[in-house]
Amino acid sequence: MAVTAEVRKEQIRQAEEVLGLEGRRLGFARSLFFGHFRADLMFPWPQLEPAEQRAVEELVGEFRQFAETEIDPFEIDRLADIPESVRHGLARLGMFGLTVPREFGGLGLSQSAACRVMEAVGSVDASIAVMLNAHHSIGLRVIVLAGTEEQKQRWLPPLARGEVLAAFALTEPNAGSDAASIQTTATPGEDGQVYYLDGEKRYITNGAIAGVLTVLARAPVPGREGTHVTAFLVTPDLPGFEVVEARMPKCGIRGTVTSRLAFHHMPVPASNVLGRLGEGLRLALTAIDYGRITFGATCTGAAKVCLQAAVRHACTRRQFGQPLAEFEMVKEKLASMAAEVFAMESATHHAAALMDAQTGDYMLETAMVKVFASEALWRIVNDTIQIFGGQAYFADEPYERMMRDARINLIGEGANDVLRAFVALVGLREVGQQLKVLADAIWRPWEHWLELLRFAGRRIYFSAPQIPVTHAELAEEASRLAHDIAAFGKAVESALLQYRESIVERQFVQKRLADAATDLYLACCVLSRLDAWLDRPDESGPALLNRGRLFLAQASRRVRQHLHALRDNDDALTTQVADDLVNGYRAGVGAAPSPTAGAGAEFA
């Protein structure tokens, strides 16, 4: 049953309150929805400070040496566990405290530096990458962001040393991507010194082995009606803490501990409230930004492994009298893989730099990176298997495991379809508000002449923005990208004028706009990085330039296709077919082909 207009309006109000969009200056990605290019947030290309760059290179080198001798991804997958010896080794390297401030025992790396380290982890084993991400990027991150000084002093040192693992307990049977549907309750005691938690959590990474968990639960907030999501620091020794299922069997990342937990009137001291009462969702969404950007890094690492293996196999495997690398369909796969790897890495580095700079508005960028990187890795693993053929299908090669491991990336830290809707609706919000102001101004022109003048100026000068590349070799790509950004801004405005408030239900439109915006953002990152690389070209020569140019060409073509599909599509027929299936199922006549049906049978 569709939600009512009143319910939808309240959902939007709550979402805007949680996201804290009011008064926040538009970031780079949100500006694209106006057809603008914020050069100050894209140029110059961000670089690590020399001292931090050296520290990262040293740490990555130490990690790779450790991985070579101590980490066996086949064994981790087969035994469905990460050995204690591996965890201890990671702890000795400082991998559990990458961005924890030095004063609390961590390495104090920037997010940009940590992403480079996590890329190396992602190239070795996905289970270890997910364990560290759950511990570091979302688990202890909330304590760094919102913990009191006492909470930081108590928890961060052992977490940074790897003596204690962290977990982030959000997901429930009825609350996943819809985090606001959390049903776990936190009832305050009579003296206000304790909260009693009741509820269930599932799919919690590190859940059964964590020493401290951030649990989201609904608690009353003084001065506000109802209950509101609040974050609590919980330890497994509290009475009423139950591990219902320690290790849930799963398709991939089998080395991770994924658990079901339950809380039975579990007393949690009020001093363990993390942040303010009722602000748990906002804190969770902020932490998840860090998790998403780390996904971008680990996916990039795995994709690089696949690319190297695919090139090697294509060059050495001969069929029909010549190497596979001589066939154009193989060339197409290799080239697209290389272009996408370059784009994944570029966008991850840029979004991480925005987070380090604390620009205040990078939620769309991290969502775009997560969606693109996870789907690009899925394509790259698939193409690697296709190039290897039957050889890759067997368990003595790593690629079938990498395929299973890669699938969760499209679901974790926000399912990709949900993130597409998120990107589109957050991006459309400011444009829609300005159009509403314009609509009001039309009826009172003398009171709102400035708004009318601004709109008229935007219509007259809705031309391609300036993209300040410094190298003539990139002038053509910059011009094409600028025109694509302008066309996107016009398409956004047209969609809002056509659908108005109902655009919140138009997911076909949302998907096309989100995908176009994502390609534009990644193209901007690639172009800026190429411009910086031309200042100091290295031994990679023209190969790097060609990879970037290929991505720019492919992204531009996809953007134009997405915008064209806003006008020329099969949306009505697609909806009708889906509705026929759903209505048939509801009527009890069978809505899907039977798995045992014979050839030619449509329904059971």
Residue 512 binned pLDDT confidence (cut-offs 50, 70, 90): very high
CB atoms within 10 A of CB 50: 8
Give the DSSP H or E segment for 264: strand 258-269
- Mean pLDDT for 9-13 is 55
ω into 445 cis (within 30 of 0): no
Given this model, what pLDDT does residue 10 score?
Answer: 54
Does the structure show a pLDDT above 50 at 447?
A: no
Q: Which of 306, 362, 375 is nearest to 337 (CA)?
A: 306
Burial call 159-169: b when 16+ CB within 10 Å, e when fewer: bbbbebbbbbb
Percent of the chain whose pLDDT exceeds 90: 83
Does the structure show a pLDDT above 60 at 591?
A: no
CATH homologous superfamily of 282-417 equals Butyryl-CoA Dehydrogenase, subunit A, domain 3 (1.20.140.10)
Same fold, 282-417 and 428-573: yes
For 352-384, the pLDDT digits (tens) are 999 999 887 999 999 999 999 999 999 999 999
Task: Flag the least confident range among 81-95, 105-119, 452-466, 569-583.
Answer: 452-466
Does the structure show a pLDDT above 50 at 601?
A: no
Residue 20 binned pLDDT confidence (cut-offs 50, 70, 90): low
Does the structure show a pLDDT above 60 at 23?
A: no
Identify any residues that bridge with 260 across adjacent strands, giving them in sequence order. 245
| Check whether domain 167-278 has CATH 2.40.110.10, yes or no | yes
Active site residues: 413
* DSSP 8-state assignment for residue 592: S
| Contact present, 241 and 198 (Cβ < 8 Å) | no
- Mean pLDDT for 400-414 is 96
Rounded to the nearest angstrom, the gap between the alpha carbon of residue 551 and the centroid of all alpha carbons in its chain is: 20
Instruction: Report in angstroms the alpha-carbon separations of 336 from 159, 180, 371, 380.
Output: 40, 39, 17, 9
Task: Flag the least confident range among 164-173, 223-232, 522-531, 582-591.
Answer: 582-591
- Strand ranges for 56-208 from DSSP E: 166-169, 185-188, 194-205
Given this model, what pLDDT does residue 432 score?
Answer: 87
- Mean pLDDT for 260-272 is 98
Given this model, what pLDDT does residue 179 score?
Answer: 79
Location of structure tokens 């990671």: 90
CB atoms within 10 A of CB 359: 17
Residue 406 binned pLDDT confidence (cut-offs 50, 70, 90): very high
Percent of the chain whose pLDDT exceeds 70: 89
For 205-260, the pLDDT digits (tens) are 999 999 999 999 999 999 999 999 999 999 999 999 999 999 999 999 999 999 99
The CATH class that applies to domain 428-573 reads: mainly alpha
Given this model, what pLDDT does residue 360 score?
Answer: 79
For the chain, domain boundaries: 50-164, 167-278, 282-417, 428-573
The residues, ordered by sequence, that sit 6+ positions from 13 with a Cβ below 8 Å of its Cβ are none
Backbone angles phi, psi at 534, to 5 degrees: -65, -20
Q: How far apart are CA 523 and CA 532, in angstroms?
A: 14
Q: Which of 223, 216, 235, 225 is nearest to 164 (CA)?
A: 235
CB atoms within 10 A of CB 224: 10
- Mean pLDDT for 29-56 is 97
Given this model, what pLDDT does residue 442 score?
Answer: 44
Fold of 50-164: Butyryl-Coa Dehydrogenase, subunit A; domain 1 (1.10.540)
Location of structure tokens 């045992």: 596
Average pLDDT, the chain: 91
Pick from 377-386, 452-461, 493-502 the range whose average pLDDT is largest. 377-386
Does the structure show a pLDDT above 50 at 498?
A: yes
Backbone angles phi, psi at 386, to 5 degrees: -65, -40
One-letter amino acid identity for 154?
R
Given this model, what pLDDT does residue 266 score?
Answer: 98
One-letter amino acid identity for 538?
D
Q: How far apart are CA 453 and CA 224, in angstroms?
A: 41
For 131-141, the pLDDT digits (tens) are 999 999 889 99
Rounded to the nearest angstrom, the gap between the alpha carbon of residue 359 and the centroid of all alpha carbons in its chain is: 18
- Mean pLDDT for 4-11 is 58
- 3 state SS of 308: helix
Q: How far apart are CA 289 and CA 367, in angstroms?
A: 7
